[in-house]
Structures are given as structure tokens and as C-alpha cells.
Amino acid sequence: MNNTEKTILLVDDEAIICQDQAIILRREGYNVITALSGKAAVDEFKNGNKIDLILMDIDLGKGMDGTQAAETILYDNNIPLIFLSGHTEMAIIKKTERITSYGFVLKGSGDNVLLTAIKMALRLHLSYMENLRMAESIKDSELRYRRLFESAQDGILILDADKGKIIDANPYLMDLIGYSYTEILGKYLWEISPFQDITANKAKFLELQKQGYVHYEHLPLLSKSGTVKHVEFISNVYLADKKNIIQCNIRNIEKRKKHDNNRDAVLTGKVTMLRELQHRIKNSLNIIIGLINMESNRSVEPKTKEALLKIRNKIKSISNLYDLLNILKNINRVQLDQYINRTLNELFKSYVNAHRHIDLDMHLDKVIVDVDVALPVGLILNELVTNSLKFAFPNNRNGSIRITLEQINNDIIIETSDNGIGAPSTLTNNESKSLGMSLVQMLTDQIGGIVKHVPVESGTMFRIKFPLLNMYK
């Protein structure tokens, strides 16, 4: 299998993670198309792009999540799909159960795990397509269907869609409701007591027939012995042998019901665990910062020191976010003005010393945002203010840097400006390919915003604008 002939659609709302994974895949010879949202992923297929495999994150922020995007794509496309997520919660994993996928890879499992999963999925899909073509010529499909039908671990009930009479049922259903096959065969659905809550009379059956699809997540099913069992009930109408039939799938959810009864306690435990995880992440980030400081102190090369300083400041920006979450006792929301204030004051300590005087003038409205928005904003401001500190005030020149944050209707607007000599055109040009400005553009795209260089008489000014509504999930 030649990797260069295979195109992978990589879907992840985290721009940095998405680009990092794309680099790894391209290094292995794959063509890679990236999408930062479920809608963008769906649009790639509407645009007619040839895609051989999808790597789909589950949590894609606001709008359709990974499972919804997968359903939409797979409805019209027979293509292998692997879910790629950092979540291990059962509730998240269960969302993928209804989707035909080729596996679930946990983020951070390592490049080899991901690459092996991709190769296996491509081979499995190739095999599947070959088997599909062979199956078209096989005449014993009814026998295979019957074996699956009788061995299924869900109850299956087949109805005549015109009259509502039971025409077939599998052994698992018989065990579930306590009736024999002969007791229900040929009866109307509403004549069998376990299903009277679904179709109490013929009129209600006609409503079911018209809808074509009915789904009950929790349905009490009264067995012949009088025992109540909770089930999930799904019915679909489809054409078989030129005749409409209704297939009802009945799944025993007693274990799920018990789990739901403990949902509040489990949720509380997860919140506590997440707070502890955030605390540990912050400690880990501080350890990394300490290691970078040690390496910087050992180095005598100015460029190396500068590179380490920039890396340290980015990590410090992330650490400040977790620090605020801990202080505010919140797991996913943060006050953006507090975060900006803390982050930029820390940044100034890194660059401003006794030999230069640069004022930091901040006018920040109180704005509450989602953590997934605050983090990119912190990194964007870190990059833009660092550029001002590095380029705007040469030879220990004095000056000032101004930061404003305001909410106007449903938009958030942030402006950064300095009264220095002006940044190089390589940084202010909208087509700039520098790593720093590329990062700014990527992160702005991630939060659904735009970044713009604003011409001023002296100094440099940037304006970032993004919608408030996109921040809440």
C-alpha cells in the first residue's frame, strides 16, 4: 500500500494539535487535509475531495460534534473512520457506539499506535470492499441473516408494516418477555402486554407506521411473569421483498439504568477528579518552566536564551490559566480580563529591566469565557506583546504598550498597540509566513475570529475580533 496515494482528513478543533498530527502523517507519506470543525469536515466531502480515511476528534467545540459529523459523512460515503480523542469517559465513548468506525485511538498513545491503527483501518476497509463485492453474488444471504438474527444479543421483532402483525421474533426477545414464539406469532403488536405502552391500540400503531422511526431510551417492559425490565426500543420501517416491514430492536438496559441512578454521584466525582487533574497539570507545567530556566541559565548563546525565553513564556501563559481555574474553583470557565492581566504582567517581568522603562497600560472589560477560548487568546497576546517588547523599543528606548479588551454586542475585541518605532513588515504583513504570526493566525481561526494589522501614525497596532457566542459549548 503506497501512502502517497492515500489522503487523510484530520478533524480536530485544536489548531496546534491538528497541525502537529498533520506533520507526523505527512512525514509518513500521507496526503493530509485538516478541518477545525465538524461542519468544515462535512464541507470537504461536499466539495468533492477524494478522501481515503478520516481521523475524527469527538469533542469539536460548538456546533456538531465528531459523532454527528461522522454520521453525516458516512450516510453518503463508504469510508473508514477512526475516532481520535483525549477523552476516556464512558459517556463520551458510548456516543461512538452507533457509528460504524474502525477503532478508537486515545490521544497521547504515541505515533506508532496511531500509524498502526491507520494502516489496519485501510487494510480492513479494503478487505471489506472486496467482501462486499463478493457478497453481491452470493445467494445464501438469507441464511447468514438468519444466523445473525437468532444469535443477536438484542431482542428483534419483525412486524407487517401494513397491519401491525408480528411476523418474526428472535430467541433473545422470547427470553426477555417470557413468551414462546407461537404465543406471539401472527398477533397484533398491541395484543402483547409487554408492548402495550408503545402501541396501546391500532390508532397509535398507525402513528408509529407513519413516522417510520420511533426511539424510546427508557421503556418499562412487563414480561409475562410480571417482572418489569427496562429496555431501549428502536423501530425502523424498511422495504423487504417489495413489502414494507417494521423492525423493532429491544435492548436490555438494566445495567445502564442503575448507572443513570448514580449519575449525580458519578458526575460529582468526575468534577473532583478534573480539578485534581488541572492542579497536577499546573504543577507539571511549573516543573517544565523550572527545567527551561535551568537550561537557559547554563546557555551562553543569546539566540538559544531568547528561544528558551519565548517557550517559557508560552508555557507560563498556559500555567496561569490553570492557576486561575484553581483559584476560582471552576473547571471550564475563566474571567478573561484577569487571565490577560496576569499573563502580560508575567511576560513584562521577563523582558523589562532596570535599563529600560516600558509602561503596560491595560483597559480590560470583565468578560467570562470558556477555557478553550481563553488559552488561544493568551497565546496570541503573548506573541504580539513579545514582538512589541523585542522590536518596538531598540537600544533600551522607553515607551508604552497598551492593551484593551471590550465586549460589543456579541463580539469580543482585543487591541494591542505600542508607541515604538514600528514592527518589521515581515510581522505586520497580512501574508506573513513567520512562525509567530502563523501561530497567531491559526489560533485566531480556532476561535472563529480575525486578526488584523491596523495602520497607525507611530508604533504598531493589531486588532483581534471573535464572536462571543462561539465560546460556549
Query: Rounded to whole angstroms, how far apart are CA atoms 124 and 117?
Result: 10
Q: Which of 262-266, 333-337, 381-385 has the lowest mean pLDDT?
A: 262-266
Q: Which residue's entry shows cell 454520521?
A: 71
Q: Are 33 and 51 in contact (CB under 8 A)?
A: yes
Query: Are 36 and 110 part of one and the same domain?
Result: yes
pLDDT of residue 473: 43
What mean pLDDT do residues 158-178 have? Answer: 86
Q: Is residue 140 part of a domain?
A: no
Q: Is residue 454 part of a domain?
A: yes
Residue 34 pLDDT class (50, 70, 90 cuts): very high
Q: Got the DSSP string for 32-95?
A: EEEESSHHHHHHHHHTT---SEEEE-S--SSSS-HHHHHHHHHHH----EEEEES---HHHHHT
Query: Are 296 and 394 part of one and the same domain?
Result: no
Query: Are 336 and 455 part of one and the same domain?
Result: yes
Write the CATH number for 473: 3.30.565.10
Q: Is residue 420 part of a domain?
A: yes
Q: Is residue 473 part of a domain?
A: yes
Give the best-scoring range by mean pLDDT among 205-219, 251-265, 433-447: 433-447
Query: Are 69 and 199 part of one and the same domain?
Result: no
Which of 253, 274, 301 is the last residue before a domain boundary? 253
Query: Rounded to whole angstroms, how far apart are CA atoms 153 and 156?
Result: 9
Which of 80, 103, 135 is the last residue before a domain boundary? 135
Classify 248 as helix, strand or coil. Answer: strand
pLDDT of residue 272: 59
pLDDT of residue 282: 59
- Region of 164 on the Ramachandran plot (φ > 0 left; ψ -120 to 50 alpha; else beta): left
pLDDT of residue 198: 59
Query: Are 116 and 246 part of one and the same domain?
Result: no
Q: Is residue 200 part of a domain?
A: yes
User: Which are the contacts of 164, defined by CB distance < 8 A and separation ≥ 6?
Assistant: 188, 189, 190, 199, 202, 205, 209
- 461 burial (CB, 10 Å; 0-12 / 13-18 / 19+) is buried
Q: Which of 50-64, 233-247, 260-274, 420-434 has the lowest mean pLDDT?
A: 260-274
pLDDT of residue 54: 93
Q: Which of 133-137, 169-173, 283-287, 345-349 has the lowest mean pLDDT?
A: 283-287
Domain interval for residue 234:
145-253
What mean pLDDT do residues 317-336 have? Answer: 70
pLDDT of residue 255: 77
Query: Are 130 and 82 part of one and the same domain?
Result: yes
Torsion over CA of 426, 429, 434 and 439, rounded to 10 degrees? Answer: 150
Tell me how crowded residue 126 is: count the other CB atoms within 10 A of its CB.
13
pLDDT digits (tens, 9 = 90+) for 174-211: 888 888 888 888 888 777 777 766 555 565 667 667 77
User: Which are the contacts of 461, defined by CB distance < 8 A and separation ≥ 6?
Assistant: 415, 416, 417, 418, 453, 454, 455
pLDDT of residue 123: 92
Which of 84, 114, 135 is the last residue before a domain boundary? 135
Higher pLDDT, 315 or 262: 315
Residue 465 pLDDT class (50, 70, 90 cuts): very high
Q: Which of 121-130, 139-148, 329-338, 387-396 has the lowest mean pLDDT?
A: 139-148
Structural domain total, the chain: 4
Query: Are 102 and 220 part of one and the same domain?
Result: no
Higher pLDDT, 117 or 94: 117
Chain mean pLDDT for the chain: 81
What mean pLDDT do residues 338-362 have? Answer: 82
Sign of torsion, CA 181 187 190 192?
A: negative
